[in-house]
Structures are given as structure tokens and as C-alpha cells.
Amino acid sequence: MSQLIIDTGNHIAGYACKAAKADVIAAYPITPQSSVVEQIADFVEKGKMDAKYIRVESEHSAMAACIGAAAAGARTFTATSAHGLALMHEMLHWASAARLPIVMAVVNRAMGPGWNIWADFSDSLSQRDTGWIQFYCADNQEIFDTIIQAYRLCEDKRVRMPTMVCHEGLILSHTSMPVEIPDQKDIDEFLPPYDPPWILDVDKPVTHGSLIYPEWYMEFRYFMDEAMKNAKKLIPEIDKEYGRKFGREYRGYIERYRCDDADLVLLSMGTIGSEAKIAVDRLRRHGFKVGAARVRVFRPFPKEEIQNLAEGARMLTVIDRHISYGMEGPLFIEVKASLYGKEDGPLMTGLIAGLGGRDVTYLDIEKIAQKSLKHLEAGKVTKEVEWVGLRR
């Protein structure tokens, strides 16, 4: 029987790891991630989870241990934040190039200095090109459901790429919400055991990650890009199947809220996307045709879905909780790239907001929308990129 529990985003990530029956967990604690692995350690210690919990001396080692375990055929899990993820950087490439389906919860936190433990996408978005699939969640139920879906996706023989399931530090990590934990039998049916294409086996020895000359290196990188394209196709299919089985789906890539007849669409990721719904409701009450679109997957990027979204809208306002110094917000960059060459495209503006955990409330989003509506009325954007609430 399914069970309704009330718990924090981090503990729920731990519940998802248990429900997915991960065999090996290797992790190093870091704020605000620590309670993810504390929860898992508790499950393992109390015998509620049949898994090997490996304590390591750093995040680099945590990922290395996951790589070794996954190469031996185990289902693996880890979790980290900010500087821990940055320290893993080298190993992230090893995991994806070895095509190991490791699932990691990333509890998004700002990079220092200055030292800051609050929500910011600068940690995971800095890992954009490591070959990891990236999901961004907006509530605790979504964290659970996405981790289960992530294993199914990344272990598929057409994909075999590691996956990050991201949720914002403190906003979700330490906030309790009701979450439905499905019956274990149903999860087992949805998520069969991992069936690796090759494993480290002393009786049939292989080496992975060995030297490769320029004449064949590119081909393996091509395979990785193809795997991402396969993931692109599979994400909505798996989500739909999950929906049929458990009654919840996330419409694949983009959660659209009142976008159908919207002139202005507010695009964002994570919890800003939830907050934007409240702003949309309030603006709708005053007759403004505004909608909100929350991008759930950053890699593979939903290019076609963005194009589809842009077809109906006259303006897209993109809110980023990260800045790529010297350019713009990463989501804004990708949205613009997705619409390159489209004639009569919508007006676009990019906002940098909520860095280092600064609160982005529905009132802030309402103000952003009202400014965009003025641009829409004037038919042009005066400033392409603006920083929201910057002290002057």
C-alpha cells in the first residue's frame, strides 16, 4: 500500500534512494545536502535498506566509489551540493564517459566565496557539459518521483548516462511537505534491477577508461551525444508511464501553467516556477494574459518544446537563478539559442534573480511580469538583461 508521509526534501530523496533499492551509496556530507545521506545511513544502519554505505574522505572519492561500484554492476546513489559538486567535476566526466547510470541528488547551493549555503543554481549549471542528465524539481513529491524516473531513464540501454536530480537548498531541502510513497511492489515493477552491458569481473577482466587515440576518441563522444538524444525521446515516455502507474506525471519537460492563451510566458526552473503560478493567478484576475512555464530538464535541453511554447506567446520572460559571467543567465541563453532563425519570434528578456538564496516571492515575479507587459505594449525591450532587486 502507498503511504503518505510528511518530511523534508532531503529526507524524501533518501526515501527515493531506498525505494529504488540502490546497492551502493558513497557520500560525503556538505550543507545543505547532509540530511539526504544521514537519512540513507539511518536506513542502512537499521537494516531497512540492504545496501553498502561507503564513507569517504571527499566528494571526489564519493563519485570515484560510485563509479567503481557502478562498473561492478551495482545500482549507485550519492548526493552533494555546491563545492562538493565542484570537487567531483573530474569524476563527473569519468562517470558519463564510462556510461555509468549513477543517480545523484544535487541540493542546489551558491558557490563561494563569499561563503553562502543558500539556494542558487551556480553549482549544477556549472556542470552543464559533463554529460550528466539534469532534472530540476519544484516540490518534495517531484523529488521522489524524479529520482525513481531517473533510474529507469539512465539505466535504459539506449541511454546509460548518469543523472542529477536537483532541488534547491533550504527552500526544499529543509522544508516538510506531504509526499506519497508508492507501494514497493509497484516501484519494483516500474524499476526492474539494473542490467549492465559490461561489468568489472575478476574472472573476465576488462579495463575501462583506458587510452584512446585521436582516430577513435570522437566516436565515443558521438555515442554520448546520441545517448542524450535518446534520453530526450524517453523522458516524456517514462514520465507518462509513471503517471499511468502512480497517478502523477510532470508532462515531460515543461510544466505549463495557464500558457495556452498567454501573451506573456514567464520561464524559470525549480521553485521560482512554483512561485510564478501564484503571480500568474493574481495577474489573470486583473485580466492580463500571463502564463508560467517551468523547465524541468536542462540536459538534454527541450529545444523543440521551447519552440512550441514560443509559437503561442508574444513575449518570453526568462528568470535565471544563476549568471554565466560575461554573458547572461544560462536558461535565457538556451531559450534564445532554441529560437534562433525563427521568424516573428516573441520578444525576450532575461532576469537574474534569487542568487545566493535571495527570496524571489510571487510579488517580485508579479513586478517582473508587469514590467514585461509594458515592454510588450511598447513592442520592444529596453534592456535585454536585468538584475532583479539589485541594491543601487
Query: Contact residues for other proteins (CB under 8 A)?
Result: 97-99, 160, 197-198, 205-212, 216, 219-220, 222-223
Contact in structure between 236 and 286 (CB atoms under 8 Å): no
Give first-to-last CA distance, the chain, whole Å. 55
**Cβ-based nearer residue to other proteins, 40 or 63:** 63
Nearer to other proteins (CB atom), residue 66 or residue 254: 66
Q: How far is the CB of 219 from other proteins (least distance, A)?
A: 6
- The amino acid at residue 60 is H
Least Cβ distance, residue 160 to other proteins (angstroms): 6
Nearest approach, Cβ of 217 to other proteins (angstroms)? 9
Q: Helix crossing, 82-97 with 214-246: angle to 10°?
A: 110
Provide DSSP, 340-379: TT-TTPPEEEEEE--GGG----HHHHHHHHHHHHHHHHHT
Identity of the residue, 112 or 209, whose beta carbon is nearer to other proteins in the bound complex: 209
**Strand-pair partners of 165:** 105, 135
Task: Render the burial of 246-256: b for 16+ CB within 10 Å, e for the rest.
Answer: beebbebbbbb
Asked if omega into 101 is within 30° of 0 (cis), the reply is: no
- The least CB distance from residue 93 to other proteins, in Å, is 12
- Compute the distance between CA of residue 131 and CA of residue 204 in angstroms, rounded to an integer: 28
Nearer to other proteins by Cβ, of 170 and 234: the residue is: 234
94 vs 250, which CB is nearer to other proteins?
94
Shortest distance (Å) from residue 138 CB to other proteins: 33
DSSP 8-state code for residue 120: -
Q: Are 146 and 114 in contact (CB under 8 A)?
A: no
Q: Which amino acid is at 224?
A: M
Nearest alpha carbon to residue 312 among 267, 286, 361, 345? 345
User: Residue 147 CB, nearest distance to other proteins (Å)?
Assistant: 24
- Sign of the Cα torsion 181, 184, 186, 192 reads positive
Q: Which is nearer to other proteins, 48 or 233 (CB)?
A: 233
Q: How far is the CB of 177 from other proteins (least distance, A)?
A: 39
**206 vs 378, which CB is nearer to other proteins?**
206
**Least spacing, CB of residue 223 vs other proteins, in Å:** 7
Cα 27 from chain centroid? 19
Nearer to other proteins, 213 or 340 (CB): 213
Neighbours of 212 (CB within 10 A): 12
We find the least distance from the C-beta atom of residue 200 to other proteins, in angstroms, to be 10
Q: Which is nearer to other proteins, 224 or 347 (CB)?
A: 224
In whole angstroms, what is the distance from residue 369 CA to residue 358 CA?
A: 18
The cell numbers describing 312, all together, are 503561442
